A and B are shown apart, each in its own frame.
Chain A
Amino acid sequence: MGRFALTAFVIAFFIFMLAPILVVVVVSFTSAGYASFPIPGWSLRWFVRIWEYPPFINAMITSTVVAVLATVLSCLISIPGALYLARARAGWANVVATFLLSPLSMPMIVIGFSSLFFLTAVGIGISMTALVITHTVVCMPYVLRTVIAVYRSVPPPYEEAAAILGANPLRTFIEVTLPLIRPGIAAGSLFSFLTSFDNLPVSFFFASAQTSTLPVVMLSYIENQFDPSIAALSTLQLALALVCLILADRLYGIKKMTVAA
Chain B
Amino acid sequence: MTGLNRRRFLQTGTAGAGLMLAGSPGLLRAQAGQVLNVTAYGGVWETAVRECFVAPFETKTGARATVSLGAPAQWLAQVEASPQSPPLDVLIMSPDLAIVAAQSGLMQDLTVNRIPNLAKIPQEFTDACLGKGTYLDYGVAGITYNKDMVPNPPRSIAEFVDRVSAGEFVASVPSISYAITPIMLIWTMAEALGGGVDNVDPFFEAMERMRDNLVFWGGPNDFFNHLASGEADLGIYFDGRTWNHYDEGATWIDFINPEEGGALTAVAVQIPNNANPLAFDYMNEMLDAENQARFAEIMNYAVTNVDVVYSEKLQARVTPWQQTAFPPYEAIGAARNEWVDRWNREIGM
Contacts and interface: CB of A to CB of B under 8 A. Distances in A.
A232 interface: no
A258 interface: no
Nearest to A33: B248
Interface stretch (A99-107, A189-197, A218-226): A218-226
Given A34-B249, A37-B229, A222-B219, A126 B70 contact: no
B241 interface: yes
Interface stretch (A66-74, A85-93, A159-167, A202-210): A202-210
Contacts of B41: 220-221, 223-224
B248 A205 contact: no
A209 B66 contact: yes
A125 B249 contact: no
B42 A209 contact: no
Contact of B69 (A32, A33, A205, A217): A217
B221 A226 contact: yes
B34 interface: no
Interface in A1-60: 32-37, 53, 55
A36 B228 contact: yes
Most chain-B Cβ atoms within 10 A of its Cβ — which of A33, A218, A220, A222?
A220
B71 A205 contact: no
B42 A34 contact: no
Interface string A140-178: 000000000000000000000000000000000000000
Contacts of A35: 221, 224-225
A205 B46 contact: no
A143 B42 CA distance: 34
A113 interface: yes
A260 interface: no
Interface string A216-248: 111111111111000000000000000000000
B136 to A, nearest CB: 13
B109 to A, nearest CB: 25
Nearest to B247: A33
B224 A204 contact: no
A84 interface: no
B82 interface: yes
Contacts of A181: none
B244 to A, nearest CB: 7
Contact of A207 (B66, B69, B244, B250): B69
A120 interface: yes
Given A208-B37, A220-B69, A226 B78 contact: no
B332 interface: no
B43 A205 contact: no
Nearest to B67: A209
A220 B221 contact: no
A212 B68 contact: yes
B37 A34 contact: no
B45 interface: yes
Nearest to B250: A34
Given A35-B225, A37-B229, A116-B81, A224 B42 contact: yes
B74 interface: yes
Nearest to B46: A55
Contacts of B46: 55, 220
B275 to A, nearest CB: 15
Contacts of B228: 34, 36
Nearest to B78: A126
B248 A34 contact: yes
Contacts of A209: 37, 66-69
B245 interface: yes
A204 B74 contact: yes
B87 A125 contact: yes
A224 B81 contact: no
A7 B74 CA distance: 47
Interface string B52-93: 000000000000001111110010011011100001000000
Given A32-B249, A221-B42, 16 more contacts: A34-B249, A36-B228, A55-B42, A55-B69, A116-B77, A120-B81, A205-B77, A207-B70, A208-B37, A209-B68, A210-B66, A220-B69, A220-B70, A223-B41, A223-B45, A224-B42
Interface of B: 37, 41-46, 66-71, 74, 77-78, 80-82, 87, 219-221, 224-225, 228-229, 241, 244-245, 248-250
Closest 5 CB pairs of A and B: A225-B43, A221-B42, A220-B42, A33-B248, A209-B66
25 contacts: A34-B245, A34-B249, A35-B224, A53-B43, A117-B81, A125-B82, A126-B87, A204-B70, A205-B74, A207-B68, A207-B70, A208-B68, A208-B87, A209-B68, A217-B69, A220-B71, A221-B42, A221-B43, A222-B43, A223-B220, A224-B41, A224-B43, A225-B42, A226-B245, A227-B248
